[in-house]
Amino acid sequence: MGEITVIGGGFAGVEAAWAAAQRGVKVTLVEMRPERTTAVHKTGDLAELVCSNSFKSNLLTNASGVLKEEMRLLGSLILPIAARNSVPAGEALAVDREPFARDITTAIEACKLITVERREVTELPADRPLIIATGPLTATDLANDIARLTGTESLSFFDAVAPTVLADSLDMSRVFRASRRGRGNDLVQSGPEDESPGCTTPPQENADYLNCPFEKDEYLAFWQALCEAEKAPVHGEEDNQAKMVFFEMCVPVEELARRGPRTLAFGPMKPIGLEDPRTGRRPYAVVQLRQENREGTLWGLVGFQTRLKWGEQRRVLRMIPGLQNAEFVRYGVIHRNTYINSPKVLLPGCELRKVPGVFMAGQITGVEGYLESAAIGIIAGLNAARMVNGKEAVVPPTNTVLGSLCRYLVDTDPHHFSPMNSNWGIVPELPTTIKDKREKARLKSERALREITEWRTQLQD
Ligand SMILES: Cc1cc2nc3c(=O)[nH]c(=O)nc-3n(C[C@H](O)[C@H](O)[C@H](O)COP(=O)(O)OP(=O)(O)OC[C@H]3O[C@@H](n4cnc5c(N)ncnc54)[C@H](O)[C@@H]3O)c2cc1C
């Protein structure tokens, strides 16, 4: 009988090992802790929560709540154990972290088909199927070896992400569609020499960007708020790493703002080559939004990588004209994060395109969060087990939250790929337009749960 090797005993690794073992396949799960630890883990337990103790909403009108239900239907290990160790958290599922991780460890160690080895993997073994689930803080030697498989250009070590908003939360009476005339877009962090005063342009056909235009007083109030907003706290080591990112990749928007009142207007908020069709003038400054998924439901703020606290991001960025009611599906971050460019290198069933039998799982695929990582672990474990059993790889239907996450990983433009969590914006729209947001979420949720239930029946594992 074939066996599977899983490297990494975090959220994805334990779910992958469990999913395979539930299908009768033997698994060796290799975890480096406690022999070697990461900058944020504190114990040798499997599936340790490194920060918040929340798995987010339980509500079935929330994409995260639906993802949980889909995972339960697919035999998740962590969710029943989370329920046993839950602590009061309103509509969210939060856990008492230590007993939770201990119970996960006990369940994995007690499973007859799973052997746990405690050692650091420094080179990828030749074992197939192999599941790599080493997470955002993958140890360096192994990360370098993974880069050998994916190509160094397809493996990132840092994440510098701008916030993403839902299209239907934008005020389109303020926002206009246009691309910069005669210039590339994304003119971020260029200097005053790029300014060419007096340039006004009519909106273009094929205009790919949404533009939020500022009057001078709006811009100055926004700049002031950005300068005064509170940054998220960081650990010493992370701070040094973040400084490297600023140097190598991009400066956070709040740092740019602190350099002076005009820096943003000459940089990421440069209005050059744009004319507001409502005024017929070039705005004083502009925030551009770039489409992030094929359906056009998600839009990212161009050049707005930030380390502000999430509440502060919501407060300050809602001062942008047109974003006053914006719903943020993800906030900006700049942190250490090892992840592959999945749209370039991954097949929908989590197997590397060019390396048959090697599966990627968890945050290293470009999903974000405990829950999402665990969910991708289930798919990798399921498909590795199917390979052992001579079956084709499968992916949940696109209308499910898990299926949408899988599709986001392989279907996004690889040039603008950035990690994603579960949200309704990645789930395809309903066939008819529903204005009421709660009703829309309810219908999407019903559809997702119906389709995952049917899919599970068809799996016949
Ligand atoms: C500072 C920080 C704060 C975060 N806060 C939150 C939060 O509040 N909420 C949230 O939902 N998510 C948060 N995340 C993200 C969350 O930690 C991840 O989404 C989740 O843990 C990813 O699961 P994973 O299984 O992919 O990786 P992990 O859970 O990190 O598991 C990977 C495992 O692989 C092991 N490993 C690594 N390299 C090797 C190797 N070479 N050999 C053997 N084993 C190895 C590690 O020890 C680890 O146990 C945070 C992440 C960080 C770094």
Question: Relative to the CA of 135, which ligand 1 atom is closest?
Answer: 27
C-beta neighbour count of 232 within 10 angstroms? 17
> What is the reported pLDDT for 302?
93
324 and 354 co-located in one domain: no
Residue with CA closest to ligand 1 atom 35:
8
Residue 198 φ/ψ region, left for φ over 0, alpha for ψ in the -120 to 50 degree band, beta for the rest: left
Q: Which of 76, 95, 370 to mutate to test the pocket of ligand 1 (most atoms within 8 A of CB)?
A: 370
Is the shortest distance between the CB of 178 and ligand 1 below 6 Å? no
326 and 348 co-located in one domain: no
141 and 55 co-located in one domain: yes
> What is the reported pLDDT for 202?
36
Is the shortest distance between the CB of 366 and ligand 1 below 6 Å? no
- pLDDT tens digit at each of 461 positions of the chain: 689 999 999 999 999 999 999 999 999 999 999 999 999 999 999 999 999 999 999 999 999 999 999 999 999 999 999 999 999 999 999 999 999 999 999 999 999 999 999 999 999 999 999 999 999 999 999 999 999 999 999 999 888 889 999 999 999 999 999 988 644 444 333 332 332 222 233 334 458 899 999 999 999 999 999 999 999 876 555 556 555 555 545 689 999 999 999 999 999 999 999 999 999 999 999 999 999 888 899 999 999 999 999 999 999 999 999 999 999 999 998 888 999 999 999 999 999 999 999 999 999 999 999 999 999 999 999 999 999 999 999 999 999 999 999 999 999 999 989 899 999 999 999 999 999 999 999 999 999 999 999 999 998 76
Question: Relative to the CA of 36, which ligand 1 atom is closest?
Answer: 47
User: Of 274, 301, 331, which residue sits at a domain end?
Assistant: 331
**For tokens 């350099």, what's the residue?**
259
Question: Relative to the CA of 134, which ligand 1 atom is closest?
Answer: 34
Is the shortest distance between the CB of 225 and ligand 1 below 6 Å? no
Find the domain containing 200 and state its range: 164-331
Q: How far, in Å, is the centroid of ligand 1 from the Cα of 136?
A: 5
Is the shortest distance between the CB of 133 and ligand 1 below 6 Å? yes
312 and 339 co-located in one domain: no
Q: What is the rounded CA–CA span in Å between residue 163 and residue 179? A: 20
Residue with CA closest to ligand 1 atom 6:
51
Work out how many domains the chain is built from and give that number. 2
Is the shortest distance between the CB of 146 and ligand 1 below 6 Å? no
309 and 360 co-located in one domain: no
49 and 71 co-located in one domain: yes
Q: What is the rounded CA–CA span in Å between residue 183 and residue 233? A: 37
User: Of 315, 331, 347, which residue sits at a domain end?
Assistant: 331
Q: How far, in Å, is the centroid of ligand 1 from the Cα of 368?
A: 10
Is the shortest distance between the CB of 50 and ligand 1 below 6 Å? yes
417 and 306 co-located in one domain: no
Is the shortest distance between the CB of 8 and ligand 1 below 6 Å? yes
Q: How far, in Å, is the centroid of ligand 1 from the Cα of 20?
A: 21
C-beta separation of 267 from 193 below 8 A: no
Question: Relative to the CA of 337, which ligand 1 atom is closest?
Answer: 53
Q: How far, in Å, is the centroid of ligand 1 from the Cα of 60?
A: 26
Instruction: Write the pLDDT tens digit of every residue in 373-398.
Output: 999 999 999 999 999 999 999 999 99
Instruction: Write the pLDDT tens digit of every residue in 142-171.
Output: 999 999 999 999 999 888 889 999 999 999
Question: Relative to the CA of 12, which ligand 1 atom is closest?
Answer: 25
Which token pair is 55?
């798995």
Q: What is the rounded CA–CA span in Å between residue 120 and residue 127? A: 16
Q: How far, in Å, is the centroid of ligand 1 from the Cα of 50?
A: 7
Model confidence, pTM: 0.89
130 and 209 co-located in one domain: no
Q: How far, in Å, is the centroid of ligand 1 from the Cα of 445?
A: 28
172 and 130 co-located in one domain: no
Q: Which of 48, 373, 409 to mutate to test the pocket of ligand 1 (most atoms within 8 A of CB)?
A: 373
Q: How far, in Å, is the centroid of ligand 1 from the Cα of 287?
A: 33
367 and 440 co-located in one domain: yes
322 and 355 co-located in one domain: no
Is the shortest distance between the CB of 10 and ligand 1 below 6 Å? yes
346 and 324 co-located in one domain: no
Is the shortest distance between the CB of 365 and ligand 1 below 6 Å? no
Question: Relative to the CA of 139, which ligand 1 atom is closest?
Answer: 38
User: Of 310, 331, 352, which residue sits at a domain end?
Assistant: 331
List the CATH number of the domain containing 15.
3.50.50.60
Question: Relative to the CA of 362, which ligand 1 atom is closest?
Answer: 26
